[in-house]
Each structure stands twice: as structure tokens, then as C-alpha cells.
Amino acid sequence: MLEHIDDASQALESLRLQSAVLARWAQTLAHRLASGGRLLAAGNGGSAAEAQHLTAELVGRYDGERRPFSAIALHGDTSAMTAIGNDYGYDEVFARQVRAHARPGDVVVLLSTSGKSPNLVAAAQAAHEVGALTWALTGPGPNPLSAAVDEALTLEGRNCHVQEAQLIAIHALCEGFDACVAEEED
């Protein structure tokens, strides 16, 4: 058990080294959402849970009162996911939703511990087609997803530790987002 905790330090250190990326993302996200844009997020399995955690923090609140912002977890619409998966294949479950919902000015955030999920790579490509900005939180790079997005934060370590660090990254992003929103609205 102690070994698991100690091994998480590699992913956390790689996150620490890329903290400037999160700061830049927070500022960009605050500006885009305050201007009427929205965030679309997706992931598979545990990364889906982290993506939904991010959208909940933006629609609800992270750590203080502020207005709600538009953020949608694409995997949360199970009827759309299963219909799209049935009719078009699982690789299209997010891409088709991105084409339907994303617009220029929006941000699409894709989470994957491996960075190899074809449905997330397809979502990144769909986001580019509609003019949305794309970011990814992935495991070690380079990987197909990090290559498909505008900017990626790649974390070193085993998948479990990458996922643990992704939660910290999400909270840091939310903290920076809230600070930037407060600054813009003053």
C-alpha cells in the first residue's frame, strides 16, 4: 500500500512541471466561458468520471460562490451514446456529439490515461472540424490523443497514478479558473 502512494509521486512531479499549462488553460477557459462559450468533456471509464467531475465543478461550484458556466460531459447522455454506438460504432460516440454541440469559442477537453482511445482521437478531429479548441489530459506522451489536440498535458506513470494526478489537475484548473473569473468580473 505504501508503495502505491510512493509511486504516485512520478505522475505528480510531471504535473508539477507542467503547472504553467494548467494556469494558461484556466485563463483561456475563464475567458471563453465568460464570453458565452462552453466546455465539452469526455473520457472512458475512470477518465469519464474525471471528465464529469470537471463539468460538475464548472456548472456547480468548485470552492466558492460564482455564477454557473456551461459544461457538458458527453458520456453523460447515455441514450445518445448508445444510439450513436449502435448506429455508427463506438469510435463515433463522442465525435458525433462534438459535431452537434461544439462551436468556435468552445473548449473540448478529453481525458485518457493511455492516450490511445480511438473515440477520443475522433472527438478531437471533430472538434477541429467545427473550430473548437482541444485539450487533452493523458498518460505518457507522445500518444495518438496528445498528437490530435491543440495542447496536451501528458503525465508520467502507471495508469492508476495518471488518473490520480488528473484529479489534482482538474482541481488546480478549477482553482485557477475561479480566480480568473473573479478577476474578469471585478
What is each CA distance from 23 to 7, 26, 96, in whole angstroms? 25, 5, 30
pLDDT at 107: 98
Q: Note whether residue 51 is domain-resident.
A: yes
- Reported as a single tens digit per residue, the pLDDT across 48-69 is 999 999 999 999 999 999 999 9
Coil vs helix vs strand at 10? helix
Prior bond to 142 cis, omega within 30?
yes
Q: Does residue 44 register a pLDDT over 80?
A: yes
Q: In total, how many domains does the chain have?
A: 1
Is the pLDDT score of 160 beyond 80? yes
Q: Hey, is 114 helix, strand or coil?
A: coil
Is 59 among the domain residues? yes
What domain range includes position 48?
A: 41-185
In a domain, 33, yes or no: no
When pLDDT is averaged across residues 82-106 and rounded to a whole number, the result is 98
Q: Calculate the CA dihedral of residues 43, 155, 158, 4 and round it to 10 degrees.
A: -110
Q: Look at residue 57 and tell me if it is in a domain.
A: yes
CATH number at residue 98: 3.40.50.10490
Residue 36 lies in a domain: no
Average pLDDT over residues 99-118: 98
Q: Is pLDDT above 80 for 36? A: yes
